[in-house]
């Protein structure tokens, strides 16, 4: 039966080729949307690695020109900012950071370690000693930065578990050198934290390196963000009192206070909007494909009235006619999907989308195949129903 159906499809290959091409491109678009949706969904349910509730970020504009080294007065003013923020009973802890959580900005680097022919990439951030207390970071091995790191002739770093596993495997990374590529200062791992997802819930886990902020080194840029952890129940009215106190430190500087909850909502929307747009485009494409398939099948049924009428005259039931039309369409769909799956498999072989995990890749493939087959079945229902209404006498209208 299947062999006979394939022969029927092949005999009308010119008419069916355009349907196969349409299904092929529809599958690729749907697969891309499915990959994004499954990736975002998988990332959303992963642990974030820090607690952002009751944390405010104070963006400090120090009027410092890019590349300009801070003066001794500016370094001392930064120290006074910390002291001023800690004066209030509402503040549990305060820390500084080069980039705040939920920010796409930041610096990236590469390690002198090769995996799969590529150097390991990582995101880096420069933070002060109390950053772990403000963001409730969990240290799984070693320790966080502290006063014991003052005056050492090497650079202390804290890395996340993902990077520790990639570089050191199952070995203990504590007190071992991290091979930072093109870095003149020796970097030594003093602690390992859980996978800290800097860009938020929808971002994929990434390699992360925290450097200690050294206020005594005036060659380093001053921190642009002051993070404070507030006691539960602190209202927004506190920010006016806080800004007045911070401006007393240096009236030339300006401060912009936003809760990290607000930063998280903004970052979430920025990541979600492109997904919504792509999803809408894919939805309209699927609607156009559905209308096109229904129209083509309707036309094919009309052109095959003689063939269907003869089959009915030979005793074929309405259900067998319905099954034939539906089966032919599934075979055409399978041909189009075979080409699409082959191309998707080539993506993995050439590592075009290596950032996608195998589980996400497989699930996206299954979802795309199921959606295309379901769309095909739905679009075939009405034309195949029309075919069942063809009577044997209709074949007499054709010579």
Q: Can you read off the two tokens belonging to residue 385?
A: 């129903």
Give, in order, the Cα–Cα distances in Å from 160 to each of 51, 101, 123, 139, 172. Answer: 16, 15, 11, 9, 13
Give residue 63's region: left, alpha or beta (phi > 0; psi -120 to 50).
left
Within 10 angstroms of residue 155's Cβ, the number of other Cβ atoms is 19
Q: 3-class SS at 85?
A: helix
- The closest of 235, 195, 246, 55 to 134, measured between CA atoms, is 55
Q: Can you read off the two tokens belonging to residue 85?
A: 């923020």
Distance CA 243, CA 78 (A): 14
- The closest of 131, 240, 237, 126 to 187, measured between CA atoms, is 126
Distance CA 180, CA 124 (A): 11
Q: What is the pTM of this model?
A: 0.78
Distance CA 362, CA 344 (A): 11
Give, in order, the Cα–Cα distances in Å from 99 to each of 93, 131, 264. Answer: 18, 12, 14
Give the pLDDT of the chain (399 residues) as one tens digit per residue.
566 556 555 556 666 677 778 888 888 888 888 888 888 888 888 888 999 999 999 888 776 545 556 667 777 777 788 888 888 889 899 888 888 899 887 788 777 665 555 678 888 898 988 999 999 999 999 999 998 888 888 889 999 999 999 888 889 999 998 887 666 567 899 999 998 888 888 888 889 999 988 765 545 566 778 899 999 888 888 888 888 888 888 777 788 889 999 999 988 888 888 888 888 888 887 787 777 777 777 766 666 666 666 666 666 666 677 777 777 778 888 888 888 888 888 877 766 566 677 788 889 899 999 988 888 888 877 777 766 666 665 555 555
Domain boundaries, given as residue ranges, for the chain: 2-45+271-397, 63-252
């Amino acid at each position: 039966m299947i062999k006979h159906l394939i022969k029927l499809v092949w005999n009308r290959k010119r008419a069916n080729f355009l349907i196969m091409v349409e299904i092929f491109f529809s599958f690729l678009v749907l697969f891309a949307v499915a990959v994004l949706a499954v990736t975002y969904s998988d990332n959303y349910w992963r642990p974030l690695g820090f607690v952002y509730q009751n944390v405010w970020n104070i963006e400090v504009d120090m009027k410092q020109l890019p590349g300009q080294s801070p003066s001794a007065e500016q370094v001392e003013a930064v120290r006074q900012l910390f002291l001023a923020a800690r004066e209030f009973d509402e503040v549990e802890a305060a820390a500084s950071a080069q980039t705040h959580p939920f920010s796409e900005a930041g610096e990236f680097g590469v390690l002198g370690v090769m995996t799969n022919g590529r150097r390991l990439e990582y995101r880096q951030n420069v933070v002060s000693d109390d950053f772990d207390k403000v963001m409730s970071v969990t240290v799984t091995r070693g320790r966080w930065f502290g006063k014991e790191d003052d005056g050492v002739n090497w650079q202390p770093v804290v890395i996340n578990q993902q990077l520790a596993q990639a570089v050191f495997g199952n070995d203990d990374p504590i007190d071992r050198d991290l091979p930072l590529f093109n870095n003149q200062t020796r970097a030594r791992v003093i602690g390992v934290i859980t996978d800290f997802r800097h860009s938020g819930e929808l971002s994929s886990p990434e390699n992360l390196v925290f450097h200690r902020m050294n206020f005594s080194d005036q060659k380093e840029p001053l921190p642009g963000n002051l993070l404070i952890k507030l006691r539960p129940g602190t209202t927004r009215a506190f920010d006016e009192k806080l800004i007045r106190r911070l401006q007393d430190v240096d009236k030339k500087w300006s401060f912009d206070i936003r809760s990290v909850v607000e930063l998280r909502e903004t970052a979430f929307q920025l990541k979600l909007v492109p997904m919504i747009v792509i999803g809408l485009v894919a939805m309209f494409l699927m609607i156009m494909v559905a209308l096109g398939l229904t129209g083509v099948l309707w036309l094919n049924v009309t052109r095959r009235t003689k063939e269907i009428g003869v089959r009915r005259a030979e005793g074929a039931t309405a259900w067998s006619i319905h099954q034939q039309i539906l089966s032919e369409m599934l075979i055409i769909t399978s041909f189009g999907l075979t080409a699409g799956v082959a191309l998707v498999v080539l993506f993995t072989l050439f590592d075009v989308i290596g950032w996608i995990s195998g589980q996400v890749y497989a699930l996206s493939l299954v979802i795309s195949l199921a959606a295309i087959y379901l769309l095909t079945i739905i679009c075939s229902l009405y034309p195949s129903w029309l075919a069942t209404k063809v009577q044997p006498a209709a074949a007499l209208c054709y010579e």
